[in-house]
Structure 1
């Protein structure tokens, strides 16, 4: 089973986004930080995705995605 972690991303304007990282939990923040502009902040969200939710995202190992909140 592949792990996919949820992260809170706050951009320069204060807007909040959700990051997804298909990595080990201890690497998730670092991987998202590498994928976003300098100055943005990232923190892990304690909520975990179920195995079904993670599988439905069809993410490759090491992949990082970002989603704007509406």
Structure 2
């Protein structure tokens, strides 16, 4: 029986050119793949790296992402 591919859902931290952090989510085959997907979606000059935060299974289900989907999920993260 063939098994269908289930992408992982990964959080990616984005640093904008004005040094603001944003949180994105991407459905990819690995955290590195997710970072690449986000880099393709954000403006040139911004950077991206895997985030330490994790989503719960319920949060992941609510996003309804398919392989290759990317979206910003939090407007801005401010460091205290």
TM range (shorter): 0.7 to 0.9
Q: TM-score, normalised by structure 2?
A: 0.75
Number of corresponding residues:
70
Instruction: Describe the shift of the 1:53–1:2 C-alpha distance in structure 2 as closer, same or farther (beyond 3 A).
Output: farther
Q: Which runs of 5+ in 1 are unaligned?
A: none
Q: Which residue of 1 aligns with 2:48?
A: 42
RMSD of equivalent CA atoms: 1.7
- CA drift at 1:50: 2.6
Q: Which residue of 1 aligns with 2:61?
A: 55
Larger gyration radius, structure 1 or structure 2: 2
Matched, 1:4 2:17: no
Q: TM-score, normalised by structure 1?
A: 0.84
SS at match of 1:46: coil
Q: Which runs of 5+ in 2 are unaligned?
A: 1-5
The list of structure 1 runs, each at least 4 consecutive aligned residues, that deviate by more than 4 angstroms after superposition, is none
Matched, 1:69 2:69: no
Q: Deviations over 1:17-55 (max 9, x none)?
A: 001001122311111001111110101013332322211
User: Contact conserved, 1:3 with 1:54, CA < 8 A, in 2?
Assistant: no
